[in-house]
Amino acid sequence: MVEGTAVANPSGQTVTARWRKFIGLSALDRRLLWRAWFALAFVQVSLLLLPSRWLLRGRVVDNPAQNPESIEKLVWSIRSAARFIPGATCLTQAIALQHLIARSGRVSRIQVGVRKDETARLRAHAWVEYEGRVVLGGSDTQQYFPLAAWETRASIFQ
């Protein structure tokens, strides 16, 4: 690379522009984005190496954070960090988000559903529900037949 030039990525932003945007975030947002990136990377690698049941086993939420981030911030961090993890599927993002939500002391649910597309091929999709609403995974979840769900459990000691 020639000095003074910047490398473009698929979104059209240069690496330099993305770095400036990252540095412009608050310290809390930068930390949250790093946590989301590491969670996604861990889940992505784990899905390749470990049985999925190990990652999807029910987590117990028993250590609520003092000042938990809003659900919207957690979703933003996962969506933003996922752009830098090649192949971060809906399942990868759902597991990583559920981990962050559980770490903040709250209960959530991963739902996996299937449907047939226009060519009669089976399609699967994962999404995260929090307090009865879909927070990650889109608004078209009604098109999917629920197949499995994994929910965090609140500790009896809370």
What mean pLDDT is reported for the chain?
Answer: 81
In the chain, where the domains are located: 27-154
Contact criterion met (CB below 8 Å) for 128 and 108: yes
Q: For residue 7, is pLDDT > 50?
A: no
pTM above threshold 0.85: no
Query: In this predicted model, what pLDDT tens digit does every residue of 96-139 receive, in sequence order?
Result: 999 899 888 888 999 999 999 899 999 999 999 999 999 999 87
**Average of pLDDT values for 45-73?**
75
Residue 156: count of CB within 10 angstroms of its CB: 7
The CA-atom distances, in angstroms, between 97 and each of 10, 124, 136, 154, 155 are 24, 18, 8, 17, 19
Query: In this predicted model, what pLDDT tens digit does every residue of 77-103 receive, in sequence order?
Result: 999 999 888 889 999 999 999 989 988
Listed residue (70, 155, 49, 37) closest to 107, CA to CA: 155
Please enumerate in sequence order all residues whose Cβ is within 8 A of that of 74, keeping only pairs 6 or more positions apart, or say none. 32, 36, 97, 100, 101, 104
Contact criterion met (CB below 8 Å) for 113 and 146: yes
Please, which pLDDT band fits residue 30 given cuts at 50, 70 and 90? confident
